[in-house]
Amino acid sequence: MLLEFSGEVLEWRGPAPHHFVRVPEDESAEIDVVAPMVTYGWGVIPVEVRMGSTTWSTSLFPKDGGYLVPLRADARRAENVGLGDVVGLRLTLDV
């Protein structure tokens, strides 16, 4: 499954701050359909993410009826992306 969308870079200020992009509602609904087949526990969904020319593997986190895409620090640096920027993402789910 391939999904493409844009979203704002958000920060979660936990003990170790992380940056995320929220998956839009329509794309979250598509993920919900296949989630039972691909999750490996507590609702996380393994994905490959592409932002600009940078690609990495991670897992989507369920949050408030949708999903968050974690943005790795090295990927943010490589693409010159900061908090509040709107970025285009391409997610690949192995279904």
Encoded amino acid at 14, one letter: G
Count the domains in the chain.
1
Report field, pTM of the whole predicted structure over 0.85: yes
Q: How far apart are CA 76 and CA 81, in angstroms?
A: 5
**56: helix, strand or coil:** strand
Q: Which residues of the chain have pLDDT under 50?
A: none
* Mean pLDDT computed over every residue of the chain: 93
Predicted pLDDT of residue 87: 98
How long is the chain?
Answer: 95
Here the CATH number for the domain that contains residue 34 is 2.40.30.100
Can you give the residue range of the structural domain that contains 76?
A: 2-92
